[in-house]
Amino acid sequence: MPHLILPPSCRVPDREITPPEVFRDRRRFLKEMAAAGLITLAGPRLMAQALSRSVSPEAQSAALSLYPAPRNGQYAVDAPLTEQSVAAAYNNFYEFSTAKERVARLSADWQTRPWQVRVDGLVENPVVLSIEDVERLAPLEERVYRFRCVEAWAMVVPWTGYPLRRLLEHVRPTSEARYVRFVSRLDPEEMPGVHELRHYAWPYHEALTMEEAMNDLALLVTGIYGEPLPPQHGAPVRLIVPWKYGYKSPKSLARIELTAERPPTFWNEAVPSEYSWTSNVEPDVPHPRWSQATERRIGTGERVTTLPLNGYADQVGQLYT
Ligand SMILES: Nc1nc2c(c(=O)[nH]1)N[C@H]1C(S)=C(S)[C@@H](COP(=O)(O)O)O[C@H]1N2
Ligand SMILES: [Mo]
């Protein structure tokens, strides 16, 4: 793995310090209740309980009042939904672990409210938004999307959010803005994975062209399965770009920046021969170590044909002609 020289802007962790006292009492209370067998912390309402462990009661009820959001039937997928408990137990979130099955447990107590997102760069109206501001900036809706990881596994899940375009319009990009850069929060005290993977260019960062970011399918996501995002899925706000490989959908966003130059991206920088900057789902273009022609649906294990642009060619094909 190459050693990477980081530009100065990447060296400063984009994180907000949350005083742990704000949450400690409730978390200790829940843990004691769980230890005494009075409540269960795992079960069918897995997500709401994950939220309750990392969020103050006030923030929790404010958040829960927005979910579930009405489903937008225009974005249906002709396949059954992946089971909620399957998706929630098989995650790529390298800040916590490279072991997919361990991410949920390692991230369960990570505090994701209060939370702020900075949106700045080449915009007329730079803002710092609380997660509550983000959730209320535009009407939340639910969309069922296909999701395809470059490792050739896939799922079909209902995300809650609104088009990223709504946020970009709010900050009014200048005419020089050509790219949108996304930076995930880096919280080394809570993220065991970053200590094991020191050679990566943390914080996790990704980018889209302006045209991609403005496409209706690019979704700013705050919920999944009708509930606020739990930590392992990228709480409290992430991006979902369903026509690209999963690593183009960064989690737990701290900053969104509009730029004139094409920003470097995490996996493309780390291994350019394996991960292109654009990283569209292209079944005809094999990854150097495996085919991309088919995918395995997690949960059922069913193997299905991978579709060009992950089945979204009608909506985004014109961006690449
Ligand atoms: N910050 C951050 N975002 C990330 C990742 C990561 O390791 N860190 N992994 C990516 C990859 S490879 C995938 S497949 C998806 C997984 O999302 P999920 O766990 O919600 O299914 O998140 C993407 N976003
Ligand atoms: Mo992935």
Give the burial string for 164-199 (b: 16+ CB within 10 Å, else e): bbebbeebebeeebebbbbbbbbbeebbebbeebee
pLDDT score, position 49 = 53
CA of 28 from ligand 2 middle (Å) equals 34
Among protein residues, the one with the nearest Cα to ligand 1's atom 4 is 250
- State yes or no: pLDDT of 319 exceeds 90: yes
Ligand 2 centroid to Cα of residue 147, in Å, is 9
Atom number, ligand 1, closest to the C-alpha of residue 267: 12
> Which residue's alpha carbon is nearest to atom 8 within ligand 1?
93
Question: Which residue spans within 131-204 are E strands per DSSP?
Answer: 141-148, 153-163, 179-184
3 state SS of 175: coil
CB neighbours (10 Å) of residue 149?
Answer: 19
- Which residue among 47, 90, 93 is best mutated to probe the pocket of ligand 1, counting the most ligand atoms within 8 A of its Cβ? 93
The C-alpha atoms of residue 80 and residue 257 are separated, in whole angstroms, by 36
Among 295, 266, 301, 300, which residue's Cα sits nearest to residue 283?
295
Say if CB 102 and CB 193 are below 8 A apart. no
Q: What confidence tens digit (pLDDT) does each residue in 109-168 have?
A: 999 999 999 999 999 999 999 999 999 999 999 999 999 999 999 999 999 999 999 999
- With a cut of 60, say whether residue 45 has pLDDT above it: no
pLDDT at 58 (0 to 100)? 75
d(CA 173, CA 177): 6
Say if strands 253-259 and 205-209 run parallel, antiparallel, or are unpaired: unpaired
Side chain identity, residue 171: V
Q: Whose CA is nearest to atom 5 of ligand 1?
A: 93
pTM of the entire predicted model: 0.85
The stretch 302-320 carries a mean pLDDT of 98
Atom 11, ligand 1: residue with shortest CA distance? 247
| Residue of the CA atom closest to atom 1 of ligand 1 | 251
Q: Which of 106, 182, 187, 247 to mutate to test the pocket of ligand 1 (most atoms within 8 A of CB)?
A: 247
Choose among 222, 56, 76, 58: nearest CA to 139: 222
Q: In this predicted model, which residue has the larger pLDDT, 61 or 99? A: 99
- In this predicted structure, what is the pLDDT of residue 28? 44
**How far is residue 105's CA from residue 107's CA, in Å, rounded to a whole number?**
6
Residues touching ligand 1 (Cβ under 6 Å) are 91-95, 149, 184, 204, 233-234, 246-247, 249-252
Mutational test site, ligand 1, from 14, 92, 151, 281, max ligand atoms within 8 Å of CB: 92
For residue 219, the surrounding DSSP H or E stretch is: strand 219-224
The mean of the pLDDT values for the chain is 87
What is the CATH architecture assignment of 8-320?
Alpha-Beta Complex (3.90)
DSSP 91-119: --BTTTBS-GGGHHHHHTT---SS-EEEE
pLDDT at 16 > cutoff 50:
no
Q: State the closest ligand 1 atom to the C-alpha of 87, by its place in the atom list counted from 1.
A: 21
pLDDT value, residue 60: 74
Q: Report the separation in Å between the CA atom of 290 and the middle of ligand 2, taken as the mean of its atom positions.
A: 14
Mean of the pLDDT values across residues 286-309? 98
Closest residue CA from atom 15 of ligand 1: 246
- Report pLDDT digits (tens) over 84-109: 999 999 999 999 999 999 999 999 99
The domain locations on the chain are 8-320
> pLDDT at position 273, please?
97
What are the distances in angstroms from CA 292 to CA 23, 189, 246, 270, 317? 44, 36, 13, 20, 18
Question: In percent, how much of the chain has pLDDT > 70?
Answer: 83
